[in-house]
Structure 1
Amino acid sequence: MPSLFEAKKATILQQLAVPVDDYNDLSPKGSIDEGIRTLIDEINALDGLVTTSSCAGRISVFLEGRKKNVPTLETLDDNDPSRATPGGKGGGGTWLFVSHDPIDFSKRPSKHSFFSEFGLQSLGSSDVQYHEQGRRYIHLKFEPMILHLLTASFEHAQRVLSAANTAAFRESGAMGFNSVQGETNPMVAIRSAGFSFDSIIGYQDPSGCNVAFIDEDYLRMMVGLANERFQINSDRILRFRDALHSQYSHASANGSAKPQHVKKGYEDPEVRRQRKRQEGLIRQQSLHNAENTDGNHESDADLGGMFD
């Protein structure tokens, strides 16, 4: 009888086996990023690992959702889907532009090409740039790769975290330490917030027009900066790939490529000692990451919105 992990992995791989033209998910793009598809396939071919969500990295322009103009104890409801969260998500927030690849400047030679592509208008002479409560701001963002992996054991999770740390994805961490039917299958998130950025470039006025605070030249400069971050991101993805394969090659050489699941109701003392040690290392790494991160790249973690 297959383990819980093996059953989950089989289900995910079955969904990923759908032809590219027929595949669709609930992410803004609706499909798997080409820049990360090879890595996903290689990870899913490894024992004890399966991907559950991913984003290869992206540059985006995002209009915040609707906000409460005068929030009070009586009107403020954190669970109200019609109101945006503090980060601007929800409440009718809208993606004005999303690209999972660097932006080609040669295809946008005109002076106002980015204004047009992002749906922005120039700031009028009578407009003001001070903050108003409830205003919906427009953000230009770069977000590096994020990858969620379900693992078959603490040992598998530790290999992934070691590879992530080697590749400078230092905000990576693991969760899900509870045992179910004798199995513990940690979920590992591979991420790095250190070279992401989020800059407010405009706002939506009362008439519904998206107005830019900055001019086209400044916007083009910021897009160029995002393109440079894409290169850093690509380099780290390759380093993570190589480090993960190295972890598995080392484990195979030491005869531990396929850890056996513990029988229900019994755990060998040596296996328990190793499990406790690995659990402590993972928790220590997660606490360290929590202390040193100042932001998260949001990504769908459910199978219903697998890839972003």
Structure 2
Amino acid sequence: MVHAVDNVSFRVERGKTLGVVGESGCGKSTLGRAVLRLLEPTSGRIIYGGSDITKLSRRKMDAMRLNMQLIFQDPYASLNPRMTVSELIAEALLVCKTCETKSERDSRVHELMDVVGLAQRLVNTYPHELDGGRRQRIGIARALAVNPEFIVCDEPVSALDVSIQAQILNLLMDLQEERGFTYMFITHDLSVVRHISDDIMVMYLGQCVERAPSKELFDNPMHSYTKALLSSIPKPSILPEDRLRRVIKGEVTSPINPKPGCRFAARCPNVCEDCMKYDVPLCEVSPNHFVACARI
């Protein structure tokens, strides 16, 4: 059995952004989809607003999803190429039956286009006629259509160039400030997650290895994997670098029936015997700073 996400526990405060970072294949997207029950978890609980939604029926879960939405990673793959911009945004309104008439629905579509910065002249265009930034704005408009409270942003800017990334990030932050949205922001780009997140959770091979407020994590990383990730952030400068770059060596441990112990142990420069004996739990080493390391 592949343990894509294993024994991960966290909390997202209302109106805040939790950044989830880690290398490709560590379980970030699986975690986000499991929280929304797009993938059914095999065990554990998902608490939303004080209620356990893990065992809700399909009908009750459909109603709950009005409060929980997802922005997909690839805007082109998540949009139906046969539908126009207006049809794509109106789809959620039709499915959820939130607008009674076509004129009301069209008015709501135009309103959402204004909110996400899409020109009204694009209302009858198709996804292939637009650039990546405009496609992603369609995805954001679709997520906002049902007035959710909680949005999982699954690497929403990874496929975009830097200038468009900044526009989308600023749009998400402005929407959060105006409407009080709560975000779970999944990315592998540490510069992006630092810009948008209040708290950051670092994942490795399906588990959380460190969680802390954004500033605390960047100022005082404690897990060896977190330190290696932060040292890999490029800094644009013509001057020689005076910082230590931590290179992760070794092969990634197989996620198939993993043995007890820290899953980063095979690549960790500070490994000890205790790291190989038992699973290391997250421990609070300072206020709101949690680390899963036997050496701390």
Q: TM-score range by the shorter chain?
A: under 0.3
Alignment TM-score, normalising by the size of structure 1? 0.24
Alignment TM-score, normalising by the size of structure 2? 0.24
